[in-house]
């Protein structure tokens, strides 16, 4: 269970605040990035590798498809680089070079640790209250939980979070989960899958002043945005009576013996297959016919109710969410998911699925649906930058970026870096652009894509300091031999907490093209200097967005806090 390979003694040691360089990781599919962008984690076929993006050191946990390691699908890293990671059915976490199991009473069922607070003291996830089954259950198969770190360093048993007993159709949901958790551990967000297993909706949980958890199911309204009145679910239809139910034990045994003899003959002539009615008396067949007539009447009544129920469900025009796609800002105020809508294909019975980012404001209960077919969302930074990718049925996947406040016309990942970090942008052009064989989306004929940008599936760090792209090489080109690989792309225009300031200040500044600076934390004043040392801008501030009016370029920013000053280079 603890099989691992540690490569590099400093694999999980926090690195210095120096500028970092882009990297490519071979045989890697990175699905998680730490809040500060310094660590990433890859998962391929049950094998998890944790990368230090500044040193390139790796920590490897070798699982397989039978007993896989799997990374949490929410905010999986804490600030000290503990990462939630499951092993088979067991929820757990990695701290340093050791995998550790979390307590769970349901080891025979599927259990998942998904997200962790920045200080590493609370983990959210779900436990398997029922085994996976197609049969109806009286509770969901998965239920949401949290684990709390005890003072002695052990973890509590899972604490079940409250959840609604019924879905929007007034039936028992298949599962209810907890995937991402806020920095303060007081807001948890997950999904509730409806009874049919086709409409996931957002659910979140908050800790009130009495230290009690409560759930909020406001956004289930997306399952029924038309406010259709849904009739009561009529349940399963009546069972059709069988002639065997009216026959004696001796008659049933004789019929079963005849079937066995037919099978042993091996002729498989179904015209001679035994008929059960031939072994019943006329009185038994009469009773059976009467029971069938009664069943038909009951079935017709049930069928009308069931069809009315299905018609109402269809009329809802539900906006579903992509399975387990849940990302949240550190403050627990904004949640990012992917909405799935459908568009009919002309002259066809089929429809195509359209994927669009969607953000939820937990404070006021509103949501914002991005442009139609705008991409499958992957992550959101704390300033509201949204990363997504577009599906490549005939072309390789490509990453796109919605800048804060925008919901249309996303930037390509290359354009995003072009005016932010010239060194990274140049590296991308030298390493992430390839000629490749593709397929024309209209004719489905083979074509050559010249200078195609392989950006794959991008994830952004919460502080915006780096993006990691996971690429699946399902298209033929000669530059890269690996089927999976990942790119680490630092954004050195973003500056983090300076080592010379008190941690309690938690001051962070971020520069944007056009001269805008975002200030977070206990800042009192800000000054900007040109590279020759001349002051070009100064202002008092207690945080927020500052428009300096400066042209794009390299500058030095000095921030005054309650504990002194610190300076950082920025690039507009």
pLDDT tens per residue across span 312-333: 999 998 998 998 899 999 999 9
Q: What angle do CA 119, 124, 130 make, to 5 degrees?
A: 160
The residue out of 291, 315, 339 marking a domain boundary is 315
The strands making up 30-33's β-sheet, listed across from edge to edge, are 4-7, 58-61, 47-52, 39-44, 30-33
- Note the pTM of the prediction, 2 decimals: 0.79
Where residue 435 falls among pLDDT bands split at 50, 70, 90?
confident
CATH of the domain at 555: 2.60.40.3080
Beta-bridge partners for 48: 43, 61
262 falls within a domain: yes
- From 273, 295, 315, the end of a domain falls on 315
**pLDDT in the model for residue 502:** 39
Q: Taking residues 491-510, what's their average pLDDT?
A: 58
Is the pLDDT reported for residue 350 higher than 50?
yes
- For residue 382, is it within any domain? no
CA 14 to CA 376: how far, in whole Å? 31
Does any domain span residue 563? yes
Average pLDDT over residues 290-307: 96
Say whether pLDDT at 483 is over 50: yes
Closest CA to 35 of 188, 183, 146: 183
State pLDDT tens for residues 1-22.
333 333 332 332 333 334 589 9
Q: How far apart are CA 474 and CA 10, in angstroms?
A: 34
Is residue 304, in this structure, part of any structural domain at all? yes
Tell me which of 290-294, 332-336, 345-349 is least confident: 345-349
Residue 550 lies in a domain: yes
472-506: burial string, b at 16+ Cβ within 10 Å, e else: ebebebeebeeebbbbbbbbbbbbbbbeebeeebe
Query: Does 368 map to a domain?
Result: no
What distance in Å separates the CA atoms of residue 308 and residue 83, rounded to the nearest whole number?
A: 48
Q: How many beta carbons lie within 10 A of that of residue 60, not counting itself?
A: 17
Question: Would you say how long the chain is, in residues?
Answer: 572
Asked if pLDDT for residue 494 goes beyond 80, the answer is: no
Residue 424 in domain? no
DSSP state of 349: S
d(CA 110, CA 89): 5
User: How many structural domains is the chain composed of?
Assistant: 2
CB 51 within 8 A of CB 40: yes
Average pLDDT over residues 358-370: 95
Q: Among the three residues 262, 290, 315, which one is the final residue of a domain in this structure?
A: 315
Average pLDDT, the chain: 87
Closest among 497, 471, 328 to 25, alpha carbons compared: 471
Half-sphere exposure (CA, 13 Å, Cβ side) for 563?
A: 13
47-56, 393-402, 436-445: the lowest-pLDDT one: 436-445
Domain for residue 311, yes or no? Answer: yes
User: Residue 247's domain spans which residues?
Assistant: 243-315
Strands of 288-371, DSSP E: 320-321, 327-328, 334-344, 351-361, 366-369
Within 13 Å, how many C-alpha atoms sit on residue 527's CB side?
A: 12
């Amino acid at each position: 269970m603890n099989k691992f390979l540690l490569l590099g003694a400093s694999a999980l040691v926090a690195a210095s605040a120096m500028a970092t360089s882009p990297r490519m990781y071979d045989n890697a599919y990175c699905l998680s990035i730490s809040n500060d962008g310094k660590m990433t984690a890859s998962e391929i076929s049950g094998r998890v590798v944790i990368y230090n993006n500044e040193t390139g050191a790796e920590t490897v946990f070798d699982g397989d498809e039978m007993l896989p390691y799997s990374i949490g699908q929410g905010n999986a890293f804490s600030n000290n680089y503990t990462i939630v990671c499951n092993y088979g059915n067991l929820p757990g976490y990695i701290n340093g070079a050791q995998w550790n199991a979390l307590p769970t009473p349901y080891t025979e069922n599927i259990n998942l640790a998904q997200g962790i607070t920045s200080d590493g003291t609370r983990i959210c996830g779900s436990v398997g209250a029922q085994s996976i089954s197609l049969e109806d259950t009286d509770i969901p198969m998965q239920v949401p939980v949290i684990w709390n770190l005890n003072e002695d360093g052990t973890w509590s048993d899972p604490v079940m979070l409250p959840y609604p007993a019924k879905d929007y159709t007034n039936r028992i949901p298949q599962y209810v989960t907890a995937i991402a958790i806020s920095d303060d551990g007081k807001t948890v967000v997950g999904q509730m899958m409806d009874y049919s297993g086709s409409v996931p909706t957002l659910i979140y949980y908050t800790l009130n002043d009495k230290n009690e958890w409560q759930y909020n199911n406001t956004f289930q309204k997306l399952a029924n945005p038309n406010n259709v009145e849904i009739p009561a679910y009529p349940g399963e239809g009546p069972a059709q009576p069988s002639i065997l139910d009216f026959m004696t034990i001796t008659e049933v045994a004789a019929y079963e013996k005849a079937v066995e003899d037919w099978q042993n003959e091996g002729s498989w002539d179904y015209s001679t297959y035994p008929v059960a009615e031939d072994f019943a008396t006329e009185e038994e067949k009469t009773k059976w016919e009467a029971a069938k007539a009664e069943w038909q009447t009951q079935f017709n009544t049930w069928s009308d109710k069931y069809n009315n129920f299905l018609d109402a469900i269809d009329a809802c025009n539900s906006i579903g969410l992509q399975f387990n796609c849940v990302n949240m800002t550190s403050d627990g105020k904004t949640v990012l998911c992917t909405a799935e809508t459908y568009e009919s294909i002309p002259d066809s019975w089929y429809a195509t699925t359209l994927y669009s980012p969607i953000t939820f404001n937990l404070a006021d209960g509103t949501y914002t649906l991005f442009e139609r077919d705008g991409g499958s969302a992957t992550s959101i930074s704390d300033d509201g930058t949204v990363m997504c990718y577009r599906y490549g049925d005939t072309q390789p996947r490509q990453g796109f970026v919605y800048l804060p406040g925008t919901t249309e016309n996303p930037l390509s990942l290359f354009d995003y870096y072009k005016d932010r970090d010239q060194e990274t942008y140049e590296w991308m052009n030298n390493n992430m652009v390839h000629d490749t064989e593709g397929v024309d989306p209209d004719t489905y004929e083979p074509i050559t894509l010249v200078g195609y940008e392989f950006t794959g599936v991008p994830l952004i760090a919460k502080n915006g300091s780096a993006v990691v792209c996971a690429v699946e090489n399902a298209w033929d080109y000669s530059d890269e031999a690996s089927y999976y690989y990942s790119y680490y792309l630092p954004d050195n225009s973003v500056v983090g907490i300076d080592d010379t300031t008190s941690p309690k200040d938690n001051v962070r500044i971020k520069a944007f093209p056009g001269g805008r600076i975002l200030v977070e934390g206990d800042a009192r004043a800000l000054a900007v200097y040109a590279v020759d040392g001349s002051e070009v801008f100064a202002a008092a501030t207690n945080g927020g967005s500052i428009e300096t009016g400066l042209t794009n370029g390299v500058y030095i920013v000095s921030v005054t806090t309650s504990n002194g000053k610190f300076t950082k280079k920025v690039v507009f």
